[in-house]
Copies of this chain bind each other. A is one copy, B any other.
Amino acid sequence: MPDDPSAGLDALAGGAGGPGALGPLLATVLDALDAGAARRGGPLPAGHPGRIAALVADALAGAGGAEALARLTEVLARGAADPADPACAAHLHCPPLAVAVAADLAVSALNPSQDSWDQAPAATALETALLAELAALVGFDPAHAAGVLTSGGTESNLMGLMLARDQKLDGIVELDGLPAGVRPRIIASEAAHFSVQRAAALLGLGERAVVTVPVDRELRMHPAALERVLAETSWAGNTPIAVVATAGTTDTGAIDPLHTAADLAARYGAWLHVDAAYGGGALLSDRLAPLLDGIARADSVSLDWHKLGWQPAAAGIFLVRRAETYVSLARRAEYLNPADDEQAGYPSLLGLSLRTTRRADAFKIAVTLRTLGRAGLGRLVDACHLLARGAAEAVRAEPELELHAEPVLTTVVFRYRPPGEHDGAALDVVNAELRRTLLRTGRAVVGRTELPGEGPGRVRLKLTLLNPHASAAEIGALLHEVVRIGRETRPA
């Protein structure tokens, strides 16, 4: 045993010695993941959040030196909600593919940063090549498109709306500089992701700048309603700078009418951003891709391969149809992209991202796409879609459950509602409480949401089915568990 207790603990992951130093540490991690999952024994740890926090605090207090990695990894696994467990089906939180996770290790070890070529020679070229493939997948002409990897749909939506603001307001983007009477507005459906409002606030437009369009039961924007909202916005003297169409709402997977949105955005001179963070996965499936017909007319698009793409977070993608519209971030930083270096052929991705240091998230996506191919990934999408259709049928067949709408992609929205008359507020309490019971007992992670509208009776449960290896029987058992706990929870 060496004299210095910290000997070797500061070994680096790169260089000639890196793989040798990593080997035993990775074995430690795999053992600890195994041990932690065994102690958890289900989709999530049983117990109140306070209990999990106490386990973590204990591990942090007790872990030190060479033992820390094993001890903390075990508690992370023991206290995980594991999306690879079929009973963990709440969120757009996918179980990552082993091959994507392995590829991500290479990125952690080499640590390329995409903000300058000389921090990421191969990774810069690889991201550029991958984005061209993804642009083609969307239907953009890769020779004219541009894009960047992002932290997810929230960042991608922000970027789309930033470009819309800067294009449509002719560069007048100063709080104190807008001519009187110019009131920029963003049009999005009631069921669009809340990141649209967040982006509006961040961009200095204010949340009030988002004008919402009513949706149907499936949470799809009405074409006529979009037309009316645009007309009213315009009549009122406001400037609709962007239309956000959602291709795959978080709850129901509903896809807004993309051709209508493109026609109307063009008529009103607005930017069209398509938020396909979830529904973009349908592009991988021959069966489902037609649902996104029209997406190629968007000015910008969000895709998230950490949803239907089975990547560990983050694997967000932002694409624009015409590279020349991608101007807001052009910036010369002498230490990153001096002009004479660019003239000498050194490419720079700096002007494409909101970030400076940036992990090479493109790599795991490229490895996954090459390993499984579009067809292989499409089979995983189809498997999840079929699981959702089967789950909807099971809900319909169960008299104590109520289906909200047929699944569009891979989610099923429903609630516990035994036959008879019910008070909406009481049903809300029962559904919220039964979901917490499933969490507290460590039995299942079921989603919960509220439908747009006012008043009680809006709480719904939700299964977000992203595990292609889950079986219909496992999902059936999960629904039975919901019913069983629902009965126990039902007010007298």
Is A66 part of the contact surface with B, judged by Cβ < 8 Å?
yes
> Quick one: given A356-B154, A356-B195, are A26 and B26 in contact (CB under 8 Å)?
yes
Cα separation A203 to B397 with both chains bound (whole Å): 51
Is A473 part of the contact surface with B, judged by Cβ < 8 Å?
no
| Chain B proximity of A115: nearest CB distance (Å) | 8
Q: Are A306 and B106 in contact (CB-based, < 8 A)?
A: no
Is A231 part of the contact surface with B, judged by Cβ < 8 Å?
no
Is A263 part of the contact surface with B, judged by Cβ < 8 Å?
no
> Quick one: given A72-B367, A334-B449, A449-B335, are A25 and B304 in contact (CB under 8 Å)?
no
Which B residues touch A323, using CB under 8 A? Answer: none
Which B residues touch A310, using CB under 8 A? Answer: 10, 12
Is A225 part of the contact surface with B, judged by Cβ < 8 Å?
no
Question: Which of A96-104, A287-295, A385-393, A400-408 sits within the interface?
Answer: A96-104
Residue from the list B60, B98, B106 in contact with A366, Cβ < 8 A: B60
> Quick one: given A117-B49, A372-B6, are A13 and B95 in contact (CB under 8 Å)?
yes
Within 8 A of B (CB), among A7-47: 9-16, 18-19, 21-23, 25-26, 28-34, 37, 44-45
Cα separation A355 to B83 with both chains bound (whole Å): 20
Q: Are A44 and B356 in contact (CB-based, < 8 A)?
A: no
Is A373 part of the contact surface with B, judged by Cβ < 8 Å?
yes
Which B residues touch A22, using CB under 8 A? Answer: 30, 98, 101-102
| Chain B proximity of A135: nearest CB distance (Å) | 15
Closest to A129 in B: B60
Is A394 part of the contact surface with B, judged by Cβ < 8 Å?
no
Copies of this chain, tallied across the complex:
2
| Chain B proximity of A10: nearest CB distance (Å) | 6
Which B residues touch A90, using CB under 8 A? Answer: 118-119
Cα separation A48 to B98 with both chains bound (whole Å): 34
Residue from the list B94, B380, B436 in contact with A10, Cβ < 8 A: B380
Is A52 part of the contact surface with B, judged by Cβ < 8 Å?
yes
Which B residues touch A432, using CB under 8 A? Answer: 338, 340-341
Number of interface residues of A (CB under 8 A): 172
Q: Are A376 and B6 in contact (CB-based, < 8 A)?
A: yes
Which B residues touch A80, using CB under 8 A? Answer: 14, 110, 112, 120-123
Question: Which of A137-145, A170-178, A254-262, A265-273 sits within the interface?
Answer: A170-178
Is A455 part of the contact surface with B, judged by Cβ < 8 Å?
no
| Chain B proximity of A277: nearest CB distance (Å) | 9
Within 8 A of B (CB), among A192-241: 193-195, 197-198, 201-206, 208-209
Interface centre among A121, A340, A376 (most CB of B within 10 A): A121
Q: Are A57 and B447 in contact (CB-based, < 8 A)?
A: no
4 extra interchain contacts, Cβ-Cβ under 8 A, other than A33-B110, A49-B117, A175-B204? A25-B99, A80-B112, A95-B111, A198-B329
Contact sample, A vs B, 12 pairs, CB 8 Å cutoff: A12-B95, A26-B105, A29-B105, A44-B121, A56-B125, A76-B112, A82-B110, A96-B111, A101-B105, A175-B178, A176-B178, A313-B358
